[in-house]
Amino acid sequence: MAYNNLSSRSHKHQEKHGLILRLAHGGLAIAVINQLLTSLVLQAPAPDATGNWYFEVHEYGGLIGFGFVILFWLRLLVKMRETSFGLLFPWFSGERLAALWEDIKHHVRYLSKFRFPPFENHAPLASAVHGLGLLLITAMAGSGTVYYFINNDNPDAGGLVGVVMFIHLTLANLAWAYLIGHAGLALIQHYLGNISLSTMWSFSRD
């Protein structure tokens, strides 16, 4: 069957997630964008001084972002049966890993023909990537929050402060890659008619 026929139908089967998850996703996306952009221009404070305005936005934006991370995890725990942690984190199940490998090969077959496979709710590859993204952002927001409470106004300090900052800065490059890849693929799927971005970014209760 031709891909164009499939793409025109798959949009109808896109799942609309619950309001709490959509709020958490939207807030977390805005927080991540804010954190990455402000990281390009912020100036950390020197000892006995304050940083620039962007540093303050980055600092408090990170705390808000961590709040959205907690909200995201709480929603997943409450709705565990709907979400299926096995799909998001398939790494400890032979059956889940086999399904993930089959889905990867499925994507490769389509991409080798310069096509995207038809959209499927809870596809193993997309779900696993979302799970990795959630872990990445959790680590980013968590390390930033820990730094906020234990820092001594010296981001170059050693000890636990240095370890936390090293983790935070190292993961930043991965966060950039995930944001660009995730948003880019979502836009491509949207314009191909596979999904509608308005479905995930709608905050109505229906």
Tally of domains in the chain: 1
Percent of the chain residues topping a pLDDT of 70: 80
Indicate whether 172 belongs to any domain.
Answer: yes
Looking at residue 2, its pLDDT comes to 34
Confidence band for 4, pLDDT divided at 50, 70 and 90: very low
**Model pTM score:** 0.82
Indicate whether 90 belongs to any domain.
Answer: no
pLDDT at residue 92 is higher than 50:
yes
Confidence band for 155, pLDDT divided at 50, 70 and 90: low
Looking at residue 14, its pLDDT comes to 57
Bigger pLDDT: 83 or 202? 202
Mean of pLDDT values over 196-201 = 72
Indicate whether 196 belongs to any domain.
Answer: yes
Give the CATH number, domain containing residue 125.
1.20.950.20
Looking at residue 19, its pLDDT comes to 79
> Following DSSP, what letter does each residue of the chain receive, concatenated?
--HHHHHHHHGGG-----HHHHHHHHHHHHHHHHHHHHHTT--PPPTTS---HHHHHHHHHHHHHHHHHHHHHHHHHHTHHHH-HHHH--TT-HHHHHHHHHHHHHHHHHHTTT-PPPP-TT-HHHHHHHHHHHHHHHHHHHHHHHHHHH--S-TT--HHHHHHHHHHHHHHHHHHHHHHHHHHHHHHHHHHTS--HHHHH-----
Looking at residue 132, its pLDDT comes to 95
